[in-house]
A and B are shown apart, each in its own frame.
Chain A
């Protein structure tokens, strides 16, 4: 029981990270049917910049976090301008590889500037303090991560469903020309969605940094898993992708705990394939209506 309990706690923490990154995929997909495939690199940028501002330059932590997140949002907008917009404008799908390429460029620039040596965040209250739930020790940070993930997902869901701006965003993807005629600045809307997607990745990076080692390659595997999560959740639904993230994280931890780490990747990805074979639109997605 203890084994299962601690695996669930571990899984919820990591699953929320995947969910946050997957929310970024959801957001840009919802307004433009495009995504930044290098979300993992944006997450890495958040962690590296937060470390650099706080530890290397000695700035106060709140300022370091805010600036790192602002930089991630700016990076998201740059990705849209450089690697998405020019290709979409010409009706090409090459943004797929262009976003991957831009992510690789970012990874290498960071490696050059930050160094190859992985670094570690200094210990703080969030990692040293802990509570015990049913005999399982839970660090404050581990408890905070799912709260942040679920709050952001809930907020996005409400924004799209209930607010005027949210509906305007969704209108863009239905019919760009009609949206333009209604006075919606389509390019601006898509750019903001990418910036927000970068911001979400940055939040994931800042939250995971104290649990992990910080390096230019830290985001790669996260990015891949997050995309699997986005597809698994049915990329159309904000709460769906976050729930899928939690399910994926807990499944991963439970498989490791019950079967052993040798089987983790084999069984988890096999389960993803099985789930998609049974529900091709994802666990929480709906079949898209094609209007002709």
Chain B
């Protein structure tokens, strides 16, 4: 006789028993000792793997500190659950769904704006906290959703653009900026932001806008157009490889106009790719472990060196913004959960929008970092300008 699995009464009975047990577990309220799961979806492999690792370090350090103080909500420990999005939106969505099924209290995201743009609508629909710690796309937090569960402790394109123009004027006396933008949605978003910023700031105007592709070899024609339009500074928006081609072309034509860049050049091997002029590009960051550190900075540096023996000093901390943003964001989320008194996403969202306790963090002291209308904890005054010295990222005076 042919025996299909449906005919196997024993098997069915066992399956039913397991199902019932699982359902019972799901209905049981959380015990005080149950961990609070914190999700993290980011690029943990591929070209941007370093960014994911940097965020992991920041999150782990903050979680260690919170757990060492007895956890949250009467002794519940925090537990980090990670998924790799491989920098692709579909994989990020699958990962976020898995974490939602795992009942995480919040999901931290990674470097890629397109992945975050895919995840945020899902989390707003499923009512779960999104915490951005790198991707800077303006629309990630300013997404029109109400209620909006997306928060961010990182740079925001629209605000970075204000900072870039202001810095080019104040530091280099630029009055006519030439925009050299990558030809993709990120470049477009910054073109809008930079245009709006120049309209609001009478001291600096945009001389011309030029675009290039990821694989363009020679950008001399584009740069010559900027130069001929009277640009006295170059505003650069691109990731490391195409931005390096801009620097090489600028060197080739012997142009010495200052270069003020978005932070795309801090991922990848910009100093190697751009060659001798790499250090001439000044770019935006949210934090630097170089220079004099505050008490939190010193504490975090010691903790990083202890937890990751390969770190012997600031020079060994790659992608420092990932670590710094994630560290502060995790502590802010913890304060939100504590104030909410539960892991109910609505309660956490309301608490984050009106945090009562100031928090002395790595980047700054946060006093009511988020409001109902503003889900971005950092603004232009929190950004610092840096440049490469060899392979190190050091602040510009």
A interface residues, Cβ below 8 angstroms from B: 2-3, 6-7, 9-10, 13-14, 116-120, 122-123, 127-128, 130, 137, 139, 142, 208, 211-213, 215, 217-218, 220-221, 253-254, 256-257, 260-262
Q: Which of B217, B248, B252, B269 contacts A119 (CB 8 A)?
A: B269
Q: Chain A's nearest CB lies how many Å from the CB of B278?
A: 10
Q: Which of B51-59, B67-75, B130-138, B222-230 contacts A (4 or more CB under 8 A)?
A: B222-230
Question: Do A213 and B47 touch (CB < 8 A)?
Answer: no
Residues of A within 8 A of B218 (CB): 10, 13-14, 211, 253
Residues of B within 8 A of A218 (CB): 215
Question: Do A116 and B47 touch (CB < 8 A)?
Answer: yes
Question: Do A261 and B252 touch (CB < 8 A)?
Answer: no
Given A253-B220, A256-B221, 16 further pairs, Cβ under 8 A: A2-B228, A3-B224, A7-B221, A116-B46, A116-B47, A119-B273, A120-B273, A120-B274, A130-B252, A130-B254, A137-B253, A213-B244, A215-B241, A220-B215, A253-B218, A261-B212
Cα-based distance from A262 to B187 in the complex (angstroms): 13
What's the A-B contact tally at a CB cutoff of 8 Å? 85
In the assembled complex, B354 has its CB within 8 A of some CB on chain A = no
Known: A260-B210, A261-B210, A261-B222. A119 touches B272 (CB 8 A): yes
Question: Do A137 and B211 touch (CB < 8 A)?
Answer: no
B interface residues, Cβ below 8 angstroms from A: 46-47, 183, 210-212, 215, 217-218, 220-222, 224-225, 228, 240-241, 244-245, 248, 252-254, 268-269, 272-276
Question: What are 10 contact pairs spanning A and B, CB under 8 A?
Answer: A3-B221, A6-B224, A7-B224, A116-B46, A119-B272, A123-B275, A130-B254, A211-B218, A213-B244, A261-B222
Residues of A within 8 A of B252 (CB): 130, 137, 139, 142
Q: Chain B's nearest CB lies how many Å from the CB of A127?
A: 7
Residues of A within 8 A of B220 (CB): 6-7, 9-10, 253
Question: Do A221 and B211 touch (CB < 8 A)?
Answer: no
Residues of A within 8 A of B46 (CB): 116
Label chain B's interface by main secondary structure. helix
Question: Do A217 and B215 touch (CB < 8 A)?
Answer: yes
Residues of A within 8 A of B274 (CB): 120
Known: A137-B253, A213-B244, A215-B241. A6 touches B221 (CB 8 A): yes
Question: Do A117 and B275 touch (CB < 8 A)?
Answer: no
Cα-based distance from A119 to B274 in the complex (angstroms): 10
Question: Do B245 and A212 touch (CB < 8 A)?
Answer: yes
Q: Which of A14, A127, A213 contacts B245 (CB 8 A)?
A: A213
Question: Do A128 and B276 touch (CB < 8 A)?
Answer: yes
Residues of A within 8 A of B215 (CB): 217-218, 220-221
Residues of B within 8 A of A254 (CB): 221
Q: Chain A's nearest CB lies how many Å from the CB of B250?
A: 11
Question: Do A14 and B217 touch (CB < 8 A)?
Answer: yes
Question: Do A123 and B254 touch (CB < 8 A)?
Answer: no
Closest B residue to A219 using CB positions: B215
Question: Do B254 and A211 touch (CB < 8 A)?
Answer: no
Cα-based distance from A7 to B222 in the complex (angstroms): 9
Cα-based distance from A66 to B314 in the complex (angstroms): 41
Cα-based distance from A119 to B240 in the complex (angstroms): 10
Residue among A116, A257, A261 with most chain B CB within 10 A:
A261
